Structure 1
């Protein structure tokens, strides 16, 4: 098989009882060699930090998911401390979720603002979750435009107009298995027009397994199926799509090679 640069899964989650080594081994065999494990609570951010120090090619983010915003208490400095650990390269996953409202919206906004301030102060990119909260999310991000904040919209499912608004603010947009779903045409419409230098790919494992794995627990080894979908939508080869999305991920997170394993070429 032809050797490829490793694919970059720019967003996945692990449960506290997951056993990561086989998960990463399977992904590397599939051609995925770089991983960003996002934090959603202090415990999962700490788990991500440990993995970033133990597993080659694994990086971590420290943040509080909007579902958990009401649990923050006085822990924000503990999240900040994780940013000073090796391999922790971003703030996230943070943002607003008005679909489930697991935390009161005002609390979500307050906590989101605190983490955006942290991202600016620590010069780290932010991984943004925005669900049914576009007006408030945009308004808050605009308050930080003059600060040089770098941010991405993770698992982007917004409209073309919303995509244009975020892109005009300098955002990267990340796409996952939703792009392969029969009902994902709105996502595919955006994907066809995103500037290639702002495009990221992710699995959001363990959720949103792409076709043909719907109904299964998602895993990073399924990323090549998402890359194939992106390549087809953009009229690019798999190899070119792999190269540009990995380069974009490295650039967004400020990652340079530090001994990642050679990943096997993905099956195409």
Structure 2
């Protein structure tokens, strides 16, 4: 059984020099990888990679930092792209980012809500980016909840209590490299306590490289370190973590074995 990296930006320019080698390592060491998008252009790139390599899948959407450029025309182009390719398995990544505020908060909220409704209309999960916006993220999710609303809290950075609220709303909780950082006490507590059948693993490549490769570019093959940390925290075999998180990922993305 091989790991499933649920979130890696393989179109990023950080991979321009050796993308083929990175993908070769994916094909050797991983089961699947999902490539999220930030705007229409990167959605096209993600879909191209997913359609080129069988184990790769894509998500298409407008990142909160890109929402200042969003229009209904662009969103319709993304919707058309999603419907045109069976390799697109989610809307995303979407959400709120209050750290940099490249787009103002109200603009982010509008397009987060708009894309939640798009995902519901398409009956697809969506990938949530939530940075320093836990309260507003939960409030918007609760406002738009429905029987087919589901998805992934990508690169979880909240508390056990926040995770509880998300799981009640039908979301999986995905951990990335920061879980492995030595000083990530709150994240480690959350990962230890969240039921394994609600957990996912990811790299968010090329960002957030876990030890022992801190300071280097991240890549999907490093997702094993996240799985190993969850296994250590839960005191279970790493094979159990890999198998269950893979099963969870296949379920939420609607990928058949």
The TM-score with structure 1 as length reference comes to 0.91
Residue matched to 2:8: 12
Q: Please name the residue that 1:59 is paired with.
A: 57
Matched residue, 1:199: 199
The answer to whether the 8 Å contact 2:149/2:170 transfers is: no
Report how far residue 21 of structure 1 moved: 2.4
Structure number with the bigger relative contact order (C-alpha 8 A, sep ≥ 6) is 1
| Alignment-derived partner of residue 80 in structure 1 | 79
Task: Name the SS of the counterpart of 2:162 in structure 1.
Answer: helix
Residue in structure 2 matched with residue 222 of structure 1 by the alignment: 222
Deviations 1:210-252 (A, max 9, x none): 1100000000111111111111111111111110010000001
Checking the alignment, whether the CA contact within 8 Å between 2:150 and 2:169 is kept in structure 1 is no
Structure having the higher helix fraction is: 2
Q: Residues 112-157 of structure 1: CA distance to partner in whole angstroms, max 9, x if unpaired?
A: 1110010000000010011111121111111222242012110001
Which residue of 2 is the match for residue 236 of structure 1? 236
Instruction: Name the counterpart of 1:26.
Output: 25
Higher alpha-carbon deviation: 112-121 or 20-29: 20-29
Displacement after TM superposition at 1:160 (Å): 1.8
Partner of 2:98: 98
How far did residue 28 of structure 1 move? 3.1
Task: List runs of 5+ in structure 2 lacking aligned partners.
Answer: none
Answer yes or no: is the 8 Å Cα contact 2:113–2:144 preserved in 1.
no
Q: 1:52 touches 1:86 (CA, 8 Å); kept in 2? A: no
Residues in 2 aligned to 1:131 and 1:154: alpha-carbon distance in whole angstroms: 10
1:165 maps to what in 2?
165
CA distance in 2, matches of 1:104, 1:52: 32
Q: Which residue of 2 aligns with 1:140?
A: 140
Structure 2 equivalent of residue 265 of structure 1:
none
Give SS of 1:174's match: strand
Q: Secondary structure at the match of 2:236?
A: coil
User: 2:7 aligns to what SS in structure 1?
Assistant: strand
SS in 2 for 1:146: coil
Contact 1:151 1:171 (C-alpha < 8 Å) held by counterparts:
yes
RMSD between aligned residues: 1.2
TM-score normalized by structure 2?
0.95
Specify the alignment match of 1:117 in structure 2.
Answer: 117
Instruction: Judge conservation of contact 2:43–2:60 (CA < 8 Å) in 1.
Output: yes
Runs of 4+ in 1 over 2 A off after TM superposition: 16-21
Q: Return 5+ residue gaps in structure 1 as ranges.
A: 258-268
User: C-alpha separation between the residues in 2 aligned to 1:238 and 1:134?
Assistant: 30
Instruction: Provide the C-alpha distance between the structure 2 equivalents of 1:138 and 1:55, rounded to a whole number of angstroms.
Output: 35
